[in-house]
Chains A and B, each alone.
Chain A
Amino acid sequence: MRCAVFFCLLIGGWINYGSGVDPTNFKTCEQSSFCRRSRKVQSSGSKYSLISGTLNTYSDSVTADLLNKENHHQFTFKLEALVGGTFRLQIDEKTPLRPRYRVEHALKAQPKTVTIRVQESDGELTVTSGHSKAVIHGDPFRIDFYENDVHVVSVNAKNWLYFEHLRQKTQEQALPDSGEQQQNVEVLETLDEPGSWEENFKSHHDSKPYGPEAVALDFSFPAAEVLFGIPEHADSFALKSTSGTDPYRLYNLDVFEYIVDSKMALYGSVPVLYGHGPQRTAGVYWQNAAETWVDIYTAETNVVSSLVNFVSGSRKSTPPAAHFISESGIVDAFIMLGPQPMDVFQQYTALTGTHDLPQLFSLAYHQSRWNYNDERDVTTVSAKYDEFNMPMDTMWLDIEYTDGKRYFTWDKFKFPEPLTMIKNLTELGRHLVVIIDPHIKRDNSYFFHSDCTEKGYYVKTREGNDYEGWCWPGSASYPDFFNPVVRDYYASQYHLSKFKTVTEDVMIWNDMNEPSVFNGPEITAPKDLIHYGNWEHRDVHNLYGHMHLMGTFDGLQKRDPNQRPFILTRAHFAGSQRYAAIWTGDNLADWSHLQHSIKMCLTEAVAGFSFCGADVGGFFGNPDSELLERWYQTGAFLPFFRAHAHIDTKRREPWLFPERTRLIIRSALLKRYSYLPLWYTSFYELEQTGAPVIRPLLAHYPQDKEAFAIDSQLLVQQRLLVRPVMQQGVSKVDVYFPAIDDKKNGDYWYDVDTYQRQERTGSESIPVTEYKIPVWQRGGSIVPKKERLRRSSALMLNDPYTLVICLDRQGKADGTLYLDDEKSYAYRDGQYIYVNYEFANNQLTNRFIGKPKYKSDAWIERIVIAGLNRVPSSATITVNGVAQQLEVEQRDAAVYIRKPSIKMDVDFALKLNY
């Protein structure tokens, strides 16, 4: 029977193949009663005001009571000033019937507060801390935030604050028709609405025992022209107006064959939104783990108002705004005031953290497939990469390696000796990643299930039984990772004494953790399940994957405290970036999905998830050789680089294609490996500063309005400009070179293959061949590379570096390089070399940041300088007062300095001689 149902699911999936997602499986705002109710406020507005005399001023915060003037319900309001130009706004009920859920574990730590100055004048309260200022208006309630006296964010400027207080359910409320007898106005207003106390979607019933409890608030960005953020959606980087369409939805869902250009919810939810204009950037982090919809108002949508403005001669239009609507919880918003894009991104990561420096192998190339059939298959694929002299670092095993989808076990027939297989990989410096999903097969002979059943570790239904859903193993239950005891139990399973068939080098992939429930509403868990602490699933849904990750991370860290864990996750919430890398889920082998891989990862990167990638080649469907080539070329410049495929697709390892394709893919792989030192340095700097690794153009060219919405290009730090070919059969691509100011001045950009210089800003048509990945290095930057080919990144540890110096208009450049043992936590004890190279006045020098304690056998084998006016005759390198002459060679448009042979931890000066 189980098999039959599973088979039906598979067949169902197969029939659906190629047609894309069926949107009717997922709710629209209209079908989601709280969204419908909260959205109504957009036409009527709400009336909230601060109650005078309730104001309390503390050293770092102000509190007051807030009143809904329509139903006279009271709320508490708190505004806190945090370090680094951030305010935290919290609104909760003053005396709720039961506590409302406050998100836990998303923030890195309790945010540090700063002292404030408070001034009161004619109904306005001004809270100042440093450069930032909040002006609170009492009636109607509204807060304006200023950065250096520029108005950047307004809270509740549109009066769309909407807070459904908890209420008692009465007999009448269950029967909407008899509502007229009710005297209480507030009850009446919800009685109009079916779906307040129970809701049906398709065949699923949501019992809603606590009734309506939505919260909603609007944020305006007067200094902004474009809004972006709130991943994960398969949509453009710049958010589109939602007037006339559904809002953007944030609800972790397992969407089968998702469609692009869509505001539908996907696997992850990060409720952070940025508003950017030429002068100022600001952001809002809406900390709420319940289902959330976000309405977007862009500046140019309102035709009438712009007409009015035109007629009246006013240049001020309605600022872009966002309306966050959540199903439950409280209003807990962080307002980050910038002023520049990089400042806001860093303010956000200061709150929620960043990915720690990953092991180097995780930044190299990953080879995955659902599924590699058996041990021999894994060994053969690994050997084939060697045969064709192509580098590859990690082999992945999807669900079929398990014994009947019982995680922490192996299929004894296909994988009789996993330890030997793992040893064969690790001997070559390669790694293995295996999948561990959160659904647990309901099988009494499976130790994990019997432990969870006995100890009551599963998520419970309203009736208090273990919830039973349907997923890969058939009937399955879901551990309640919100319970620290369950997390500990789960983490302990990773210990090598328990999970004996892996080694400490085997890393973990957490999939299906939205959670995905095949027979649940919207392919996920019902909202009325009960979690630890008696919270409803409704309150915590978007955090479920995050809690799963916390357990995995803890398990891997305890398994081997010296090794940095690597985890890949599909579901994610704000803060999940501290534990795992993400990928964009089950995409399709299609050019539009290739284009969206960059758009989606850029949005994720500004929301903290720099470690992002897409399945190279597309998960569903069979890519033709051109699409596969271009996808490898694109993937080579996204932080997480993994090829993956669905079980029904044709095998697509590079050697199964014509030789030409194989060689193109090989050259893309070599390019990726040559830039590994840059990726690694970027991730170190991400951990140190919170600056995203990949960035949209506006991050460094905030004044160039034409660059705001560009999402077919990305910056790797401020060093590379990448514009992969993502269209079929083109011989030219249009590349936009951004301007620094509004006078069309720009940086120099040097083609990384030919060192041809691009001096003009604006759009340029660039010819491309099938091998070409259009990438430019910014003039003024120095990029470290390793140009020797190895079969895996671990074997490159002591390989020599190449420094590529591209000069700016002043003939200067600088850039950092970070290196350590690429594996352990020793770098936290200072075992690293972090160096800044600087080129000016024909001289290259280095300066160590921190003491270079790490002993490395690596050295510098080559220095490439592009942008010199004359070719030097030779170069002189001086170390410890000893000078040595070096040979110089001109090739293409650059000058190569041959073999400086300097160790990485030595001070030197290199001078060009003419």
Chain B
Amino acid sequence: MRKTWVKRENIYYKPFYKDKSKMFLLLIFLVGISFIAYQAFSLNQLPSVQQLRRKHKQMMQSLGSKQRDVDDFDGGGGGGDGAGVGFGAGVEAVVTATQDADAIKIIRGTRLFDYDAYKPNFEGNFKCLDGSKEIPFKHLNDNYCDCEGDGSDEPSTNACAKGRFYCKYQKRHFTGRGLDVWVWTSRVNDNVCDCCDGSDEWTTHVKCPNSCA
């Protein structure tokens, strides 16, 4: 059998809109354009770099100086008084609820991510982060472990065997990306500097060099 050669070039003409692959590419292009436009729009809604920087600075200030925090927290059972009787000097509420909407005030040792969890709920209680238990808000950070499951009620003290203390210095991009820098709460106030900024030693008298850089 002889093969015959048929030239197919001019059999028919296919218009652009009937070519599915081209149509598909166009669709993707249009979706892409609209997505970018949306991004550009929402980016416009974000705070400016300067605003972010300012807010970050506020947050850091709110963690406060060592001295100030000692004042608003009773480090052990005993206050410093000579009689050595500590009870009554206990902390009513370490956390001052955020009155000023703009000022971010976070509890020492927590991370920004959990910021909302460390506010009293509608019953005025604190719910352990693992959801296991609800405790009166005044028991938050009072140097006694109530949330034994995850130690979340004592982010600033060493009362719980489990639990994390997030160092003041967080190695983060100012947009918030990066890994959390934390130590076990068992390292808090144990006379050993664990956070590079020494923020875990805030009632002891250890001089921690800043080694964060």
Contacts and interface: CB of A to CB of B under 8 A. Distances in A.
Interface of A: 389, 427-429, 670, 787-791, 795, 798-800, 857-862, 877, 879-880, 882, 884, 886, 898-903, 905-906
Contacts of A879: 83, 85, 87
23 contacts: A429-B191, A787-B161, A788-B186, A789-B184, A790-B158, A790-B186, A791-B187, A791-B190, A795-B190, A800-B77, A857-B76, A859-B78, A859-B86, A861-B144, A862-B144, A879-B85, A882-B88, A898-B144, A899-B144, A900-B87, A902-B85, A902-B86, A906-B83
A382 to B, nearest CB: 12
Contacts of A427: 192
B161 A789 contact: yes
Contacts of A859: 76-78, 86
Given A389-B186, A795-B191, A884-B88, A788 B83 contact: no
Given A389-B186, A791-B187, A859-B86, A428 B192 contact: yes
- Which of A791, A884, A899: most chain B CB closer than 10 A? A899
Interface in B175-203: 184, 186-187, 190-192
A860 B85 contact: no
Nearest to B74: A901
Contact of B86 (A428, A798, A901): A901
A694 B89 CA distance: 40
Contacts of B187: 791
A899 B91 CA distance: 12
B105 to A, nearest CB: 25
A898 B87 CA distance: 11
B149 interface: no
A798 B161 contact: no
Nearest to A795: B190
- Judged by DSSP, the binding face of B is loop
Nearest to A787: B161
Nearest to B146: A898
B120 interface: no
B84 A901 contact: no
A884 B87 contact: yes
B107 interface: no
A906 B144 contact: no
Given A860-B77, A903-B86, 13 more contacts: A389-B184, A429-B192, A787-B161, A791-B186, A791-B187, A861-B77, A861-B159, A882-B85, A899-B143, A900-B77, A901-B77, A903-B77, A906-B83
Contact of B142 (A429, A899, A906): A899
B142 A903 contact: no
A899 B77 CA distance: 8
A788 B78 contact: no
Interface residues of B, number: 23
B90 A901 contact: yes
Contacts of A428: 192
Contacts of A788: 158-159, 161, 186
Smallest CB-CB A-B distances: 6 pairs: A859-B77, A901-B77, A903-B84, A901-B87, A789-B161, A795-B190
A223 to B, nearest CB: 50
Given A427-B192, A788-B159, A882-B85, A899 B90 contact: yes
A389 B192 CA distance: 15
Nearest to B84: A903
Given A670-B161, A789-B186, A903 B192 contact: no
B128 to A, nearest CB: 15
Interface in B131-161: 142-144, 158-159, 161
Contacts of A429: 190-192
A547 B83 CA distance: 49
Interface string B60-89: 000000000000000011100001111111
A458 B161 CA distance: 54
A799 B191 CA distance: 12
Nearest to A670: B161
A318 B78 CA distance: 64
Given A788-B186, A795-B192, A800-B76, A880 B144 contact: no
Contacts of A905: 84
Contacts of A799: 158
A692 B78 CA distance: 35
Contacts of B84: 903, 905-906
B88 to A, nearest CB: 6
A6 B142 CA distance: 62
**Which of B77, B142, B159, B184 has the most A CB atoms < 10 Å from its CB?**
B77
Contacts of B161: 670, 787-789
Contact of B85 (A790, A800, A903): A903
A798 B158 contact: no
Contacts of B89: 901
A431 B88 CA distance: 38
Contacts of B87: 877, 879, 884, 886, 899-902
Contacts of B77: 800, 859-861, 899-903
B202 to A, nearest CB: 15
Contacts of B85: 879-880, 882, 902-903, 906
Contacts of A906: 83-85
Contacts of A389: 184, 186
A136 B61 CA distance: 88
Contacts of A898: 144
Contacts of B184: 389, 789
A883 B78 CA distance: 15
A861 B142 CA distance: 11
A826 B93 CA distance: 40
Most buried by B among A857, A858, A861, A901: A901
B99 to A, nearest CB: 28
A860 B85 CA distance: 11
Given A884-B87, A884-B88, A903 B191 contact: no
A309 B31 CA distance: 108
B42 to A, nearest CB: 41
Contacts of A790: 158, 186, 190
A899 B146 CA distance: 11
A276 B158 CA distance: 49
A129 B122 CA distance: 79
Contact of A880 (B78, B83, B90, B186): B83
Contacts of B159: 788, 861
